């Protein structure tokens, strides 16, 4: 008899760095710390999520992501024993020779090649498909980790896709939207381009359902620093290991924890 297993997964972009502020590309080769604003963003999202339990925390091993995750866990009242796992598969997309240079350089190279900036791959950089392959490897790793560390028995996964959560993709809502009834909640801290590609894969390839009234332009829009996207994922056990059988997006790019910061700035 096959068993289903339901989990929540919250993807969160790292806080701001000075390179973000100066509109310079970082990718993987430029590993900068959070700016003062980035630290404040990390504190703000940590306070927003302070009463939310995380059973697992996976983090890109670039320092801006690690620092953001540290601020979240430091503020959290429910995860005193939870340790972050640093995962290179969550690193930002590599932008090759344009890392450290202004974003305008990437736009100019893309225009010269007759391509959109998002789709263009600079020399030495990763293609979108290569980043998607990394994300697929991470999902496989994640699902197998959860298979080993959590109990699959007794879950009514079919029901979990219908519970809780904000009915739209607006930035405002409750921190616990979509978290009712399932003990497994994974926090994934990564980066802007990587998360956009991950969400695109979830929606277009894995047929993840979207919040009512959500517009594709908003779903695939750039995630703000410390923006949060949450998914409910149902896995099914198979002979080859756990496989995704259904997914629903609760919200995308939520950032209402930043509104007070923006007002101050």
Residues 121-131 as b or e (16 or more Cβ within 10 Å = b):
bbeebbebeeb
The rounded distance, in Å, linking the Cα atoms of 206 and 188 is 18
Paired with 243 in beta bridges are 236
CB-neighbour burial class of residue 256 (10 A; exposed 0-12, middle 13-18, buried 19+): middle
Answer yes or no: is 16 a known binding residue. Answer: yes
Lookup result for tokens 């991950």 = 198
Sequence-distant (≥ 6) Cβ neighbours of residue 96 within 8 angstroms: 27, 121, 122, 123, 124, 125, 126
Lookup result for tokens 């604003």 = 37
Contact criterion met (CB below 8 Å) for 95 and 118:
no
Answer yes or no: is 15 a known binding residue. Answer: yes
Answer yes or no: is 18 a known binding residue. Answer: yes
Answer yes or no: is 20 a known binding residue. Answer: yes
Nearest CA to 197 out of 132, 153, 126 is that of 132
Angle between helices 192-200 and 128-149 (to 10 degrees): 80
Q: What is the DSSP letter of 33?
A: P
Pick out the residues of the known binding site for substrate.
13-20, 64, 103
Pick out the residues of the known binding site.
13-20, 64, 103
């Amino acid at each position: 008899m096959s068993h289903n297993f339901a989990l929540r997964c919250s993807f969160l972009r790292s806080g701001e760095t000075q390179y973000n502020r100066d509109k310079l590309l970082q990718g993987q080769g430029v590993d900068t710390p959070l700016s003062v604003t980035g630290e404040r963003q990390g504190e703000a999202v940590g306070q927003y999520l302070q009463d939310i339990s995380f059973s697992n925390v996976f983090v890109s091993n670039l320092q801006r992501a690690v620092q953001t995750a540290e601020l979240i866990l430091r503020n959290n009242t429910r995860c005193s024993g939870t340790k972050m796992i640093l995962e290179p598969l969550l690193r930002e997309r590599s932008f090759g020779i344009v890392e450290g240079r202004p974003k305008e350089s990437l736009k100019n190279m893309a225009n010269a090649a007759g391509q959109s900036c998002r789709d263009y791959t600079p020399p030495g950089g990763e293609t979108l498909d290569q980043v998607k392959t990394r994300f697929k490897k991470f999902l496989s790793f994640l699902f197998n980790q959860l298979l080993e560390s959590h109990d699959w028995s007794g879950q009514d996964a079919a029901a979990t896709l219908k519970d809780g959560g904000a009915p739209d993709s607006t930035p405002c809502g409750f921190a616990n939207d979509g978290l009712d009834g399932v003990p497994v909640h994974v926090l994934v801290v990564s980066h802007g381009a990587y998360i956009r590609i991950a969400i695109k894969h979830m929606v277009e390839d894995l047929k993840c359902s979207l919040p009512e009234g959500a517009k594709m332009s908003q779903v695939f829009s750039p995630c703000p620093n410390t923006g949060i996207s949450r998914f409910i994922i149902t896995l099914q056990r198979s002979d080859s290991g756990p496989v995704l059988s259904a997914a629903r997006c609760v919200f995308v790019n939520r950032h209402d924890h930043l509104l007070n910061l923006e007002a101050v700035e």
